[in-house]
Amino acid sequence: VTRPRTDNYADELEMVVTALVAGDRASAADLIAPLAQPPRTVPVRAEASESVVALVYRRDGFRCRYCGCRVIPTQIMRLIAELFPDDFPYHRNWKAGQTHPAIASRSPSLDHIIPWARGGTNDPENLACACWICNQIKGDLTIDQLGWALRDVPTADQRDWDGLTRFYRPLWELAGRPTNADHRLWLRLLDPAPGSTKPTG
């Protein structure tokens, strides 16, 4: 994954360091002043509720709002891992060597468009479905800093992918209705046709 950057930190810091090493601390201070970002306290991150997470994934059509790739909720991939533990391993901490690469490649994550650390909120307008990889790259940077564009929320007729949610319940049944991973909650939140949900037993 390439990461375009719009900042000029490499050149700017080269000038700062050049001045410092030349013994000109005053010039270095003048050069670093425009870049100054003093340490500050970021409020403790409040987690968005699972229902907001599901709403955002559905709203965004189970595609990353940055790279456009199709994502599959991790809960569903975990059921594939239950059924094929040797071919498709899963470790709850995504331990290297014990987690299939599809998990990192295709898991959705909840992105704060304006990062939490920069004052972004959990309002759905500030939230986006992002693939885990884009979210890792984005970190606490803004899309302007990255030179990225935010894709529009798809309209109803642009939605061409359901994240395999239509198979979630039958897969869960096939896997023997595992009780881990909050499946009962996510089955309800991700059910593609809530009206047709059978009573859970």
Per-residue x/- mask for Zn ion, residues 140 to 179, rule CB under 5 A?
----------------------------------------
Cβ nearer to Zn ion, comparing 66 with 168:
66
User: Is-contact 77 102, C-beta < 8 A?
Assistant: yes
What is the secondary structure of 42-54 as a DSSP string? PPPPPPPPHHHHH
- The span of 7-15, 64-72, 147-155, 182-190 binding Zn ion (CB under 5 A) equals 64-72
Cβ nearer to Zn ion, comparing 90 with 132: 132
CA 167 to chain centre: 22
Is position 64 an interface residue for Zn ion (rule: CB under 5 A)? yes
- Decide: is 131 part of the binding site for Zn ion (CB under 5 A): yes
Residue at 95: amino acid letter: K
Token digits for 196?
Answer: 């047709």
How would you class 57 by CB atoms within 10 Å of its CB: exposed for 0-12, middle for 13-18, buried for 19 or more?
buried
Site for Zn ion contains 48 (CB under 5 A): no
DSSP 94: -
Among 134, 146, 164, 190, binds Zn ion (CB under 5 A): 134
Distances (CA, A) of 199 to 11, 157, 179: 62, 30, 16
Residue (31 or 64) nearer to Zn ion, CB? 64
Considering the complex, state which of residue 16 and residue 77 has its C-beta at the smaller distance from Zn ion: 77
Binding piece for Zn ion, criterion CB under 5 A, among 9-17, 22-30, 131-139, 171-179: 131-139
Distance between CA atoms of residues 132 and 102, nearest Å: 11
Q: Does residue 67 bind Zn ion (CB under 5 A)?
A: yes
* Binding-site ranges for Zn ion (CB under 5 A): 64, 66-67, 131, 134
